[in-house]
Structure 1
Amino acid sequence: MITPEEEPLAQLKPMPEDWQRALAVVAHPDDLEYGCAAAIANWTDAGREVAYALVTRGEAGIDTLAPEECGPLREREQRTGAAVVGVETVEFMDHRDGVIEYGPALRRDIAAAIRRHRPELLITLNYQDTWGGLYWNTPDHVAVGRATLDAAADAGNRWIFPELAEQGLEPWGGVRWVAVAGSARPTHAVDARPGIDRAVRSLLEHRTYIEALTDEDPETYCRSFLTRNIEASADRFGKVPAVPFEVFSR
């Protein structure tokens, strides 16, 4: 008898391709670079539009830098890192780093970004309590991921946050998929090979944060971290190193 632990893992499906615009919503600078920049590089290479909306500026992320100094620095690093993978539009919502609260205010800000950019694909980061049951997730990631899933519906309902329409942001019900990077339960994946070098360079742009995080050579750290992650999905994606996503259709 085969136990659940011995069951072969299901193969990951290719990500949907019939879309033109995507919006990625995450809590902090570097969340996307750690999570899915190689996939984003592939998409912008194909002529698709990808915008970033960050809920904070990551101002509480470096112990040796005061928030008023850290926030602008991390914003600059995020804009530069995004540009490496072909993303020109990077917005910040200015919620406080480390104490993001799930609730109507957060959902409203994300719904506003969805209405503004009108994406077909919405991207966010792991919102579960843990990373694969091994490491505890942060409250910011949990709040933003959950709020992004909810805001996909909020954005299309004119009676939720009606003040947005009064501000010129008409409802947008065109989100067809929400893709969660870093999920322990992925369903789809993107070939990481074309974009991995730019993903490494994109993460490396967060040099101040990385140098505060590890004593390892920054480039070695970035490449080994991202390579390890994409290779972990290869067995479920035809032996191809891949960026995995848990995809919800809408």
Structure 2
Amino acid sequence: MTERADQQAPLQPMPADWRRALAVVAHPDDLEYGCAAAIAHWTDGGREVAYVLATRGEAGIDGVAPDECAALREAEQRASAAVVGVSTVEFLGHRDGVIEYGPALRRDIAAAIRRHRPELVITLNHRDTWGGADGGGNWNSPDHKAVGRAVLDAAGDAGNRWIFPELISEQGLEPWDGVRWVAVSGTTTPTHAVEAGPGLERAVHSLLEHKAYIAALTDQDPQEYVRNFLTGSVQQAAARFGGVPAVAFEVFPR
């Protein structure tokens, strides 16, 4: 099957036989732009989801100094997560805008996976581009690429006691080889989807919690901007999911 044919194939339902998920992304708002409707659907169903963010988003607002911005965006992210039923939000403290892919990042994410012991790990598009019907479109953020790649690798690192053995000796984090899938949001090559359903309205309110960031990003009315963006996203996935508005993921089984 060609890549173009793959992009027209029906999306499969996401795996449902799991209890715990961990979402690992680069910045505050990454999950809200990508998959908060799915997370609301899952937490409504009794599943546990925790968030880990590589940065505090301190370089995200041009007119606000990094220290002030970091505290502001961290508070917005915690409020945003609460809207979709997520109470655990952790920040790894990597520098916004200059995250480096490598062992240090993989180790921090592997440690988070060992702490939370998820069956499903969620991250954001790790490829060079996003958007575009043919897989082209816009150049992706270097932070997104670094974190996404590190998450895919760390899902394996977390289960190997001989990779980052200091996680055992220094932090008491025993290996966790229970990750069964890594689901990538915002990809141009999705394979699976989750019905947006009532979670979409929660997703709208979740993204609206990023008040300062949205105000700096657009002059459009925040309600209109957020609702149009998220509705357009789930409608695009509906074309390959039986006409049902959905959140799409590319799923890598382990």
Shorter-chain-normalised TM-score: which range?
A: over 0.9
Q: Percent identity?
A: 74
2:109·2:150 contact (CA, 8 Å) conserved in 1?
yes
Give the structure-1-normalised TM-score: 0.97
Tell me the secondary structure at the aligned position of residue 232 of structure 1: helix
Among 202, 206, 210, the residue aligned to 1:198 = 202
Query: 1:194 deviation in Å?
Result: 1.7
Query: 1:6 deviation in Å?
Result: 7.4
Query: 1:4 deviation in Å?
Result: 7.3
- Listed as ranges, the matches of 1:14-93 within 5 Å are 14-93=13-92
- The separation in 1 between residues aligned to 2:241 and 2:165, in whole angstroms, is 43
Query: 1:12 deviation in Å?
Result: 0.3
RMSD, aligned CA: 1.2
- The separation in 1 between residues aligned to 2:31 and 2:5, in whole angstroms, is 32
Letter in 2 for 1:162: P
- Listed as ranges, the matches of 1:58-137 within 5 Å are 58-132=57-131, 133-137=136-140
Letter in 2 for 1:48: R
Tell me the secondary structure at the aligned position of residue 150 of structure 1: helix
Partner of 2:212: 208
- The separation in 2 between residues aligned to 1:7 and 1:142, in whole angstroms, is 22
- The separation in 2 between residues aligned to 1:178 and 1:73, in whole angstroms, is 30
Give the structure-2-normalised TM-score: 0.96
Tell me the secondary structure at the aligned position of residue 89 of structure 2: strand
4+ aligned runs moved over 6 Å, structure 1: none
- The separation in 2 between residues aligned to 1:88 and 1:6, in whole angstroms, is 40
- The separation in 1 between residues aligned to 2:6 and 2:99, in whole angstroms, is 38
Residue 182 of structure 2 corresponds to residue 178 of structure 1: yes
Among 168, 172, 175, the residue aligned to 2:172 = 168
Letter in 1 for 2:54: V
Letter in 1 for 2:137: L
- The separation in 1 between residues aligned to 2:4 and 2:156, in whole angstroms, is 35
- The separation in 1 between residues aligned to 2:128 and 2:3, in whole angstroms, is 22
Letter in 1 for 2:142: P
Partner of 1:234: 238
Partner of 1:153: 156
2:182·2:251 contact (CA, 8 Å) conserved in 1?
yes
Letter in 1 for 2:156: A
Query: 1:235 deviation in Å?
Result: 1.3
Letter in 1 for 2:105: L
Gap regions ≥5 residues in structure 1: none
- The separation in 1 between residues aligned to 2:162 and 2:5, in whole angstroms, is 48
- The separation in 2 between residues aligned to 1:35 and 1:88, in whole angstroms, is 19
Query: 1:7 deviation in Å?
Result: 8.1
Tell me the secondary structure at the aligned position of residue 141 of structure 1: helix
Gap regions ≥5 residues in structure 2: none
- The separation in 2 between residues aligned to 1:89 and 1:243, in whole angstroms, is 22
Letter in 2 for 1:236: R
2:26·2:55 contact (CA, 8 Å) conserved in 1?
yes
2:106·2:150 contact (CA, 8 Å) conserved in 1?
yes
Tell me the secondary structure at the aligned position of residue 239 of structure 2: helix
Query: 1:5 deviation in Å?
Result: 5.1
- The separation in 1 between residues aligned to 2:218 and 2:103, in whole angstroms, is 36
